[in-house]
């Protein structure tokens, strides 16, 4: 493969020629590399590094550090971001345990005789997920929450022999997008239902010929769906109920399995795993014993060895690497052992009482912030339904300007939902956790009051706010 002379001089390590890259761009329907990056705002893109010639390694390291220092992590700001990824307190014991070399370097335990510790950790993780979800069996984890949701949709299709997947638009958009990508490439149909209110009503659903109904608990807006009724409707239509659940709030809420859910999925991020700029994480999946043969990934079981001693082993592996491809449940899932272990250690440290207290603190602080914000003219609660630790605000002024103004004051105000759904173009999703102190909450409310009063960072901004009101 020959390379363009100029490219060879400037980037001798590039494996692809200009023609290669142009063909790839053409295949995905993009005219240029710049078009590929068009979704990234121009004001946050670095046009060129302008690295001086002849820098030593020490000087170059300092140059790169100065660039990186312009980025602020959530821990350096007052963060009210949520929408599926949350800033939570991680006890020091979690990182102390999971950073041990035997965990950090462990891989798939194909040889049970030398992997008892890893297998036991997986078994305990599965047990914790079953206790949280109210289900009977869980797998060893999968890539992440969206991946777990997509696998649940495919699993439902295999179990019901149906090809229609029904999901609500109150499902996390990332879960929905990944699920649609998976199932549509497998020849299945997805139907998205848009409830008129915060939660779906029975008369809004048509589950005939549906393999499953996928709902979130609490939903993307922080509100609680009637899982009991939805399970009844799904089962009457011969469909399964898939619930994407928040593991922290399951410390306070009734388990989905107790409402009749057939498959429960979710993400481990909140449980000891940091935000880590979007990953990595782990997804969990749990179901009922009768469906265990269609549960993707690996399952670890406990048995006894030839001497009658307790032993752990991989009991079921339905991936294509282990069984005939035609019988495999998935070829795109694997267990995220280290992240799953992190979740296990976190849940063990917290215990049922700790999770309950954590959920209650988050709920109370979210309601306190909502009351303060909704007392300000121009800000109101979008839905009247009860919410947990996350709520949707409707603003009478541009959301992006509000978010930018508060960001300038060190406050990450929330997630603007117009990015995902145009009907919520003037809405902001706000989340609270135990990491948001009462002082932070009051500071947020003061900053919001100042913005709505026209006391913004610049006179230009103040004029624009006044014009919008």
Angle at the Cα of 363 (from 267 to 392), degrees rounded to 5?
Answer: 80
Lowest-confidence segment of 8-17, 343-352, 354-363, 436-445 by average pLDDT: 8-17
Rounded Cα distance between 79 and 411, Å, is 6
Q: Which helix (H) or strand (E) holds 126?
A: helix 116-133
The pTM of the whole model exceeds 0.85: yes
Q: Which two tokens stand for residue 239?
A: 């469909």
What digits encode the pLDDT tens for the residues 189-216? 999 999 999 999 999 999 999 999 999 9
The closest of 275, 271, 277, 297 to 286, measured between CA atoms, is 297
pLDDT-derived band at 108, boundaries 50, 70, 90: low
Angle between helices 438-452 and 399-408 (to 10 degrees): 130
Highest mean pLDDT out of 19-28, 97-106, 160-169, 316-325: 160-169
Any residues with CB less than 8 A from the CB of 160 and at least 6 apart, and which? 211, 212, 238, 239, 240
Rounded Cα distance between 391 and 385, Å, is 10
Mean predicted lDDT score pLDDT of the chain: 90
User: Are the C-beta atoms of residues 300 and 127 closer than 8 Å to each other?
Assistant: no
Determine if residue 253 is left, alpha or beta; phi over 0 gives left, psi from -120 to 50 gives alpha, anything else beta.
beta
Rounded Cα distance between 263 and 253, Å, is 17
Residue where the block lists tokens 């890539």: 143
- In the predicted model, is pLDDT for residue 467 greater than 80? no
Q: What is the pLDDT of residue 39?
A: 83
Rounded Cα distance between 293 and 317, Å, is 9
Q: What is the pLDDT of residue 329?
A: 80
What's the mean pLDDT in 459-466?
Answer: 44
Q: What is the pLDDT of residue 278?
A: 80
What digits encode the pLDDT tens for the residues 257-280? 999 999 999 999 999 999 987 888
Q: What is the pLDDT of residue 447?
A: 97
SS3 303: strand
Angle between helices 145-160 and 173-185 (to 10 degrees): 40
Q: What is the pLDDT of residue 253?
A: 97
Q: Which two tokens stand for residue 340?
A: 């799953």
Lowest-confidence segment of 19-23, 79-83, 275-279, 365-369 by average pLDDT: 275-279
Q: Which domains does the chain have, with CATH numbers?
A: 5-53 (no CATH), 76-88+360-468 (3.90.1150.10), 92-347 (3.40.640.10)
Any residues with CB less than 8 A from the CB of 276 and at least 6 apart, and which? none
User: Are the C-beta atoms of residues 304 and 311 closer than 8 Å to each other?
Assistant: yes
Which backbone phi and psi does 327 adopt, to 5 degrees?
-100, -5
What digits encode the pLDDT tens for the residues 339-376? 999 999 999 999 999 999 999 999 999 999 999 999 99
In SS3 terms, 19-80 reads as HHHHHHHHHCCCCCHHHHCCCCCHHHCCCCCCCCCCCCHHHHHHHHHHHHCCCCCHHHCEEC
- In the predicted model, is pLDDT for residue 317 greater than 50? yes
How many CA atoms, within 13 angstroms, populate the side-chain half-sphere of residue 442?
3
- In the predicted model, is pLDDT for residue 82 greater than 50? yes
Q: What is the pLDDT of residue 320?
A: 60
Any residues with CB less than 8 A from the CB of 146 and at least 6 apart, and which? 172, 174, 175, 177, 178, 179, 267, 283
């Amino acid at each position: 493969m020959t390379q363009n002379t100029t490219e060879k001089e400037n980037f001798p390590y590039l494996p692809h020629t200009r023609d290669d890259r142009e063909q790839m761009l053409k295949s995905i329907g993009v005219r240029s590399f710049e078009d590929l990056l068009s979704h990234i705002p121009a004001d946050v893109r670095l046009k060129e590094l302008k690295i001086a010639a002849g820098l030593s390694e020490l000087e170059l390291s300092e140059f790169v550090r100065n660039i990186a220092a312009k980025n602020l992590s959530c821990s350096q700001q007052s963060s009210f971001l949520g929408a599926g990824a949350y800033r939570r307190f991680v006890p020091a014991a979690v990182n102390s345990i999971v950073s041990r070399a035997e965990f950090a370097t462990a891989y798939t335990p194909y040889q049970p005789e030398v992997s008892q510790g890893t297998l036991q950790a997986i078994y305990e993780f599965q047990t914790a997920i079953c206790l949280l979800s109210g289900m009977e069996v869980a797998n060893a984890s999968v890539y992440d929450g969206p991946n777990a949701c997509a696998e649940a949709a495919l699993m439902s299709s295999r179990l019901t022999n149906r090809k229609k997947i029904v999901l609500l638009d109150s499902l996390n958009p990332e879960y929905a997008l990944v699920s649609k990508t998976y199932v549509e490439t497998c020849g299945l149909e997805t139907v998205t239902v848009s409830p008129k209110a915060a939660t779906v009503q029975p008369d809004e659903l048509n589950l005939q010929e549906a393999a499953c109904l996928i709902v979130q608990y609490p939903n993307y807006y922080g509100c609680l769906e009637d899982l009991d009724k939805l399970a009844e409707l799904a089962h009457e239509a011969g469909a399964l109920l898939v619930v994407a659940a928040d593991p922290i709030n399951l410390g306070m809420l009734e388990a989905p399995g107790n409402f009749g859910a057939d498959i429960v999925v979710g993400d481990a991020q909140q449980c000891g795993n940091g935000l880590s700029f979007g990953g990595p994480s782990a997804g969990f999946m749990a179901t009922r014993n009768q469906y265990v043969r269609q549960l993707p990934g690996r399952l670890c079981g406990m048995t006894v060895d030839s001497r009658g001693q307790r032993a752990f082993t991989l009991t079921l592996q339905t991936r294509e690497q282990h069984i005939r491809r035609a019988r495999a449940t998935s070829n795109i899932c694997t267990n995220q052992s280290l992240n799953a272990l992190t979740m296990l250690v976190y849940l063990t440290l917290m215990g049922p009482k700790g999770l309950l207290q954590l959920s209650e603190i988050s709920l109370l602080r979210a309601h306190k912030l909502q009351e303060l914000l909704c007392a300000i003219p121009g800000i109101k609660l979008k839905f009247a339904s009860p919410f947990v630790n996350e709520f949707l605000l409707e603003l009478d002024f541009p959301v992006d300007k509000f978010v930018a103004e508060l960001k300038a004051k060190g406050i990450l105000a929330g997630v603007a939902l117009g990015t995902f759904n145009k009907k919520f173009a003037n809405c902001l999703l706000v989340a609270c956790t135990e990491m948001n102190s009462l002082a932070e909450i009051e500071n947020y409310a003061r900053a919001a009051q100042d913005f709505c009063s026209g006391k913004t960072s610049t006179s230009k901004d103040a004029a624009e706010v006044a014009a919008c009101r």
